[in-house]
């Protein structure tokens, strides 16, 4: 009982530190001006982590994400606008670095690819199911010749009597 109480107390003491370590932005990274820091956080939330790929650099703890956050802060400190900072990263890494890439010729597959794949899959499924239904219908329409019917009847009768011929 005492050991579980101690474990509970220890976890309650450590919980604030775990919550604080969950944020990816480290104290030494922050800009001194709160307005500039807010801009840096906003831009960082829109940039894809190139390691994690489904997280922003703001949410990622990867070293590359830390480096990209630092680049964003440096560019903002130099007086660049938000668009110039994004433009710098896009020039360096391509449109894919943006979590929400623009709709243009080079990114059309990113936007329309899933819909095209879904439509092609639905079309293939319809063609497959129709072909399967036709095959079943054709098999049910097939009539046996009189010779084949006689052979089937002979086999069924011999099976009923238990004789093997």
pLDDT in tens, 34-74: 899 999 999 999 999 988 878 999 988 899 999 999 999 99
Say which DSSP state 67 is in: H
- Residue 7's pLDDT is 61
Element (H, E) at 147: helix 146-161
pLDDT in tens, 79-135: 999 999 999 999 999 888 998 888 888 778 878 888 999 999 999 999 998 888 777
Say which DSSP state 53 is in: S
Instruction: Quote the pTM value.
Output: 0.53
Crossing angle of helices 82-93/34-44, nearest 10°?
Answer: 40
If one counts every other C-beta atom within 10 angstroms of the C-beta of residue 99, the result is 14
Helix ranges, 22-145 (H): 34-44, 63-77, 82-93, 108-141
Query: Would you say the C-alpha torsion 24, 27, 28, 33 has a positive or negative sign?
Result: positive
């Amino acid at each position: 009982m005492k050991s579980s109480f101690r474990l509970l107390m220890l976890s309650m003491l450590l919980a604030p530190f775990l919550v604080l370590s969950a944020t990816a932005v480290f104290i030494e990274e922050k800009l001194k001006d709160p307005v500039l820091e807010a801009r840096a956080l906003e831009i960082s939330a829109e940039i894809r982590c190139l390691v994690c790929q489904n997280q922003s650099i703001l949410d990622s703890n990867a070293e590359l994400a830390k480096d990209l956050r630092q680049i964003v802060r440096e560019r903002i400190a130099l007086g660049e606008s938000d668009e110039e900072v994004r433009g710098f990263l896009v020039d360096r890494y391509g449109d894919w670095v943006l979590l929400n890439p623009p709709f243009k010729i080079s990114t059309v597959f990113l936007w329309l690819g899933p819909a095209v794949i879904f439509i092609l899959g639905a079309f293939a499924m319809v063609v497959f199911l129709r072909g399967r239904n036709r095959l079943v219908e054709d098999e049910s329409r097939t009539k046996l010749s009189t010779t084949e019917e006689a052979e089937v009847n002979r086999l069924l009768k011999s099976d009923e009597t238990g004789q093997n011929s």
